[in-house]
Amino acid sequence: MAEADIAVLDVRSMPPAVRHGNIFARFESLQSGEHFVLVNDHDPKPLYYQFAAEQAGRFSWTYLEEGPEVWRVRIGRSA
């Protein structure tokens, strides 16, 4: 997948109550080896812990930008 083709999920305008559901739905739609970039208005560390608990060994998590106003994280489905 070319860098220009990478899917971006910007959750900053979503109500907090629906963010995690949308993020996990996007993750579930990934094929093995694919990823998307999450854009958030705060450090999504609690989301990381949820992934670690529910998807242990099946995901990758790489910070691309760490605030202070925007966080970007590449989240992938492990091959």
Residues whose CB is less than 8 angstroms from the CB of residue 33 and which lie 6 or more positions away in sequence, other chains included? 76, 77, 78, 79
Are 29 and 75 in contact by the 8 Å Cβ rule? The answer is no
Residue 29: give its domain's CATH number. Answer: 3.30.110.40
Q: Give the pLDDT confidence of 15-36 residue by residue, as tens digits.
A: 999 999 999 999 999 999 999 9
CA atoms within 13 A on the CB side of 29: 9
pLDDT at position 6: 73
Amino acid at the residue 3: E
Tell me what the mean pLDDT of segment 7-19 comes to. 96
Domain count, the chain: 1
Model confidence, pTM: 0.90
pLDDT at 65: 98
Domain that residue 69 falls in: 3-77
Q: Is the pLDDT confidence value at 3 over 90?
A: no
